[in-house]
Amino acid sequence: MELALKYANVTTHETAHDPSNREEILVDVVNATTAQICPVHAPMTLATQHKKRVDLCLLVEPIKGTNAADYLSRKSQLSPHQSINHTDFAPLRVCPISMSIETKLTGEEWQSAMSQQTVWLSAHWNCLDRLTNDSQLARDELCFLPAIIVQGHDWTFLAATRGDLLHGRASRQTIIWHKLCFGSTDGLRGICQIIKVLQRLAQWSQRIYWPWFRKFAMNNLEG
């Protein structure tokens, strides 16, 4: 998995393609195996649900010293859990998470991986709803949150969309769309497919997610 991420060059600088946003940003991969969900964002009140974790996260990191980096730093410090994300894990506190990856052994624990991603993605959406003041326009423009499950050699794409308000609760339904296998590391063709998809998801983080986040969660901040 690490080799695929390396050759996909996920960790990369790029100037955002929005003409109004000239700053350079970095899309990075962070090990998140010890990152727990903040209770305020957890989709369930049971303590066990707060402990659902994923293995890796892609995040968008503005260059230090820019208005965006300073804004996110201040925003995280004002949060009760010192983070702009749905986790207070230190490496993920000040840069928006764009995608999550969960890994399992070959032929094992698919349901466990789905459970972890479902809870994690629900918490991610809960956090974004709070940051955007529950804006329907924001949800419509973002449309989905991407995720990946790696099960042995096989790589599967998931998409989490937002549904209606749950009956008797303030939170919304999160719908997980799966199971789209897009590559396997047991052959050269599958590895090339994985690399291409990872590159596209890094581009999506830079060109779609970051402009969206800046517009709706950062009051259309420039520079």
pLDDT in tens, 73-87: 999 999 999 999 999
pLDDT band at 21 (very low <50, low <70, confident <90, very high): very low
User: 108 burial class (0-12, 13-18, 19+ CB within 10 angstroms)?
Assistant: exposed
- Mean pLDDT is lowest, of 24-28, 63-67, 116-120, 128-132, for 24-28
**Which is more confident, 38 or 49?**
38
Q: Which domain holds residue 153?
A: 2-216
Per-residue exposure over 115-154, b if at least 16 CB sit within 10 Å of its own CB, e if not: ebbbbbbbbbbbbbbebbeeeeebbeebeebbbbbbbeeb
Mean pLDDT, range 18-38, rounded to an integer: 79
pLDDT in tens, 204-217: 999 999 999 999 99
Residue 26 included in any domain = yes
- Mean pLDDT is lowest, of 15-29, 74-88, 99-113, for 15-29
DSSP assignment, residue 88? -
- Mean pLDDT is lowest, of 114-118, 193-197, 219-223, for 219-223
Distances (CA, A) of 81 to 57, 65, 87, 127: 19, 23, 8, 12
pLDDT at 47 over 50: no
pLDDT at 218 over 60: yes
Residue 221 included in any domain = no
User: What is the number of structural domains in the chain?
Assistant: 1
* Contact by Cβ (8 Å): 115, 37: no
Residue with tokens 């499950």: 149
Q: Give residue 1's pLDDT.
A: 60
Rounded-to-integer distance, Cα 84 and Cα 1, Å:
28
The overall average pLDDT reported for the chain is 87
Q: Give residue 154's pLDDT.
A: 95
Share of the chain above pLDDT 90, in %: 70
pTM of the predicted structure, to 2 decimals: 0.88
Residue 222 included in any domain = no
**Which is more confident, 93 or 1?**
93
pLDDT at 182 over 90: yes
Residue 141 included in any domain = yes
pLDDT in tens, 120-161: 999 999 999 999 999 999 999 999 999 999 999 999 999 999
pLDDT at 184 over 50: yes
Residue 223 included in any domain = no
